[in-house]
Each structure stands twice: as structure tokens, then as C-alpha cells.
Amino acid sequence: MPKNKQKNIEEPIPKDLFDILACPLCRGDLEYTKDKKGLICAGCGAKYPIEEGIPVLLPPKGKSLKYYQ
């Protein structure tokens, strides 16, 4: 059985970028999900996938961006 201990999972997003990310719905802080394959908003709980190291911050369908209102 392969060892499955991954104490130091690499951050998929560069810290510089991560620091400026915010939820497009509520502008809340984003955190990594447990497996670090996505982001979750601490404010509204919206989840966003990370694809090839790039966070996909599209609001769930049917929700509008507060930015533009």
C-alpha cells in the first residue's frame, strides 16, 4: 500500500494571488477546502473549483455579482 501521508500538501495557488482573492458574491475571504482542490467562502459558503492552479471564481448559476450592482 502506498503511503498516503501528505503533511505538506502544496498550496495550489501562489500565496500572492491567494491573498487578493475574494468571493465574487459577498467579497468574503476564501479558504481552501480540506483537500485543497477548491476554495470555499468563509462569508457565504460558496464553493469554487481550482482548475490547474487557477481558481475559477464564477458565481453559482442564478446568483449575480454584487460588484456590478
Identity of the residue, 9 or 17, whose beta carbon is nearer to Zn ion in the bound complex: 17
Q: In angstroms, what is the minimal distance from the CB of 24 to Zn ion?
A: 8
- The strands making up 38-41's β-sheet, listed across from edge to edge, are 30-32, 38-41, 47-51, 54-55
CA separation for the pair 48, 38 (Å, rounded): 6
Q: In angstroms, what is the minimal distance from the CB of 2 to Zn ion?
A: 36
Interface residues with Zn ion (CB under 5 A) are 23, 25-26, 28, 41, 43-44, 46
Record the cell numbers describing residue 68, joined without a space. Answer: 456590478
Identity of the residue, 12 or 59, whose beta carbon is nearer to Zn ion in the bound complex: 59
